Amino acid sequence: MVRLLWTSLVFWVMILEQGAVYGTPRPLYTGFLGARGVEALGGNPANLGLPGNPFLSLSLSEVRVGFWNSALSTGLYNKYNGEYLTQEDKDELLDRLRGGWRWVGEVSLLSPLFSFTVGRFGCGTFVDAGTSVSLPRAPFEFLLNGLRPGDRLDLTDMEAWSYILSGVRLAYACVWDLRWEPLRRWGFRKVSTGVGLKYITGWAYAHAEVPEGELVMGEYYAWGKGRGLIHTAGVDTAKFELGPSGRGFAFDLGMAAEGSKVSVGLALKNLGGRIGWRKAKVWEFSFEMDSLNVAKIDTMEE
């Protein structure tokens, strides 16, 4: 069976504040200390044991959409929008992109069935979809400075990911007394630990990469060639129609504590997360300047 590793994510938050943390949860997908009730199911399961957690909470439907990137900002856009870029401006932009650029978009849906918590126990359903694009610095150098005769533009290290999955999760928190005196001097009296279990259904997954590719500028013309790969799972045809889905499990571990001056939270997400796909494919393409040809398609089934 072809297996796809759903990457384990580790997030931690240490927040210095006066007193406890309450109010609207801040949008840190996990580990944030402000989450209570059903919000803790997607964040830190240990939050179900923190002060201020309601005895009963219920969510019938909720949608979250997020977009972010690794280097560019609205402030940078406003600074240069409509302006003539000097070489110094271009060098500043390229310096921000020295490690490349990554764009990420995510949509998270607490599906209309239900999500609820009772005391320190919670149960909920979810649907997640996401995509990301990673580009090296070279394409931005081309856009800002162009190519001179003899220059070569490397098209490798370009990647894109996309996925759709859903699942059901259970979470529980347990509260323990703290007796270590150094922690008690900081106002810590109790610590909450939590565990969450997820049953995941993978509907579709795709990963595109360019292992070989270049664009070369000659004295009178430019030419290029390369090869691209698209790895898919849960996709049955070249039109990317949904095929057999995959199944898997993952679990979360969390810890959270609130003191009189310092609040601390730690969450380890999607540990052991692995989806077993019944069908996976590798699509291989070759390209030369103005043409795109399918070289071969390898299909692996079990």
**Structural element, H or E, at residue 89:** helix 87-96
Q: Is 158 exposed, middle or buried (0-12, 13-18, 19+ CB in 10 A)?
A: buried
Extract the tokens encoding 292. 């795109």
Residue with tokens 């849960």: 234
Residue 82 has a CB neighbour count (10 Å cut-off) of 5
Q: What is the pLDDT of residue 94?
A: 81
Q: Is 25 helix (H, G, I), strand (E, B) or coil?
A: coil
Give the β-pairing of 101-110 and 222-233. Answer: unpaired
Residue 123 has a CB neighbour count (10 Å cut-off) of 16
Q: What is the pLDDT of residue 55?
A: 92
Extract the tokens encoding 120. 């320190």
Helix axes 138-145 and 87-96, enclosed angle (nearest 10): 170
Which residues pair with residue 12 across a beta bridge? Answer: 266
User: Could you tell me the sign of the dihedral formed by the alpha carbons of 289, 292, 298, 299, in that order?
Assistant: positive
DSSP string, 54-82: -SEEEES-EEEEEEEESS--HHHHHHHTT
| Cα 240 from Cα 283, distance rounded (Å) | 11
Q: What is the pLDDT of residue 73?
A: 74
Amino acid at 119: G
10-residue mean pLDDT series, the chain (302 residues): 31 30 34 78 89 87 73 75 80 79 68 78 89 84 79 84 89 90 81 93 88 81 84 71 80 88 84 83 80 50 48
Residue 19 has a CB neighbour count (10 Å cut-off) of 11
Give the residue numbers spanning the domain of 73: 2-301
| Cα 61 from Cα 126, distance rounded (Å) | 10
Residue 195 has a CB neighbour count (10 Å cut-off) of 15
DSSP string, 258-273: E-SSEEEEEEEEEEEE
**Contact (Cβ atoms closer than 8 angstroms) between residue 156 and residue 208:** no
Distance of CA 182 to the CA centre of its chain: 37
Q: What is the pTM of this model?
A: 0.68
**What is the total count of domains within the chain?**
1
| Cα 162 from Cα 178, distance rounded (Å) | 44
Q: What is the pLDDT of residue 298?
A: 56
Q: Is 157 exposed, middle or buried (0-12, 13-18, 19+ CB in 10 A)?
A: middle
